Amino acid sequence: MRDDAGAAAILLDWYDRNARALPWRVSPAERRAGIRPDPYRVWLSEVMLQQTTVAAVKDYFHRFTTLWPDIAALAAAPDDAVMAEWAGLGYYARARNLLKCARAVVSDHAGRFPDTRDALQKLPGIGPYTSAAIAAIAFDRAETVVDGNVERVMARLHAVETPLPAAKPELTAHAAALTPAGRPGDYAQAVMDLGATICTPRSPACGICPWSVPCASRRLGIAGELPRKSPKPAKPVRLGVVYVGRRADGAWLLETREPSGLLGGMLGWPGSDWGEAPVAKPPAPGDWQEIGAEVRHTFTHFHLRLAVRAAQLPDGSEPARGRFVPRDAFRPAALPTVMRKAYDLAASHLGGD
């Protein structure tokens, strides 16, 4: 297809009638009425949506914007409060960078997000995709926004059979050629909506697609096969041990993990390193027992298997690691998912509630 301006206009017309209603989005009708997107809400949603689904993000977004309705409020929030609210979304470096970015915007930019891609990309945690998305959606900059949905749509529209990730430069070039100077933010969201609702990974609904006529892969009958992907290497398995301890008064023995690294800054159970042969040392004296079950969890680059050891600890116990969190102050939901799995397994053994 070569009528890029015409194709963009067709997609924008489709978006005007079919845009998804999302809590962080300003609808086409609102845009026509002069309502502008809030850069804070655009940024927050884009960070939350990295490697996470819209359905999973909605409740988190609502809680965050209720607790911290603007960038200044988030910048002033305690680290542990933000990390606790983030628990369950995964990829916890995003939460740490969220705070760093909020504080940088407040301290270095007087609480206002920069309005260009280059300036946005200098902020903590904002990479090429996020900077382009914020610049386009919040500030109407004609930037090329390319996520997984956009890659899939471009691969099918142009019948690009080169496997990902090698195809990324070609797909980005196709996306750039289609990005219009007018309404680039709406256009970026339109392509993402198209990929999320019609040009889906499996069984694309080509019959109702606004780009069905110019779509090369539809004509070739290979839309459902694209984009092709290079085989991924098998993920290694790492092993570890966690200690779930509870005092008679109901307090739980927890620790805050080191700020850097996997689950950095998050609340969790004391335990071993994760590797091929973990060395485990109890965090406090007690009758630690294997509970007969293990936690299995998958991270981006490896599978984890955690042995869970549990103990009822005596009053007055002085741990070598961690601290006791009173029963009334402990929220299992504030734990990252892998640590919540350990709690779920150990709680019945220890009389958790």
The residue assigned the tokens 């070569």 is: 2
pLDDT value at residue 40: 98
Residue 87 falls inside a structural domain: yes
pLDDT value at residue 292: 87
Distances (CA, A) of 57 to 48, 127, 132, 248: 6, 20, 20, 37
**Structure tokens belonging to residue 270:** 């004391």
> Same domain, yes or no, for 209 and 275?
no
- In terms of C-beta density within 10 A (0-12 exposed, 13-18 middle, 19 or more buried), how is residue 264 classed? middle
pLDDT value at residue 351: 63
> Same domain, yes or no, for 212 and 307?
no
Residue 232 falls inside a structural domain: no
The residue assigned the tokens 């990324």 is: 168
Nearest residue to 4 (alpha-carbon basis) of 214, 278, 241: 214
> Same domain, yes or no, for 330 and 215?
no
> Same domain, yes or no, for 150 and 249?
no
> Same domain, yes or no, for 110 and 249?
no
Active site residues: 46
Residue where one domain finishes, among candidates 197, 225, 253 = 225
List pLDDT tens digits, range 84-111.
Answer: 899 888 888 899 999 999 999 999 999 9
pLDDT value at residue 318: 86
pLDDT value at residue 266: 85
pLDDT value at residue 211: 97
pLDDT value at residue 108: 96
> Same domain, yes or no, for 100 and 64?
yes
Burial 186-217 (b: 16+ CB within 10 A, else e): bbbbbbbbbbbebbeeeebebeebbbbebbbb
**Structure tokens belonging to residue 326:** 């009173």
Total domains in the fold of the chain = 2
Rounded Cα distance between 173 and 179, Å, is 10
Identify the segments of the chain with pLDDT beneath 50. 1
Residue 190 falls inside a structural domain: yes
Residue where one domain finishes, among candidates 191, 225, 259 = 225
Rounded Cα distance between 61 and 81, Å, is 15
CATH code where residue 285 lies:
3.90.79.10
Distances (CA, A) of 159 to 151, 213, 306: 11, 13, 44
Domain of residue 258 covers 237-350
Are 154 and 160 in contact, with CB atoms under 8 Å apart? Answer: yes
> Same domain, yes or no, for 18 and 69?
yes
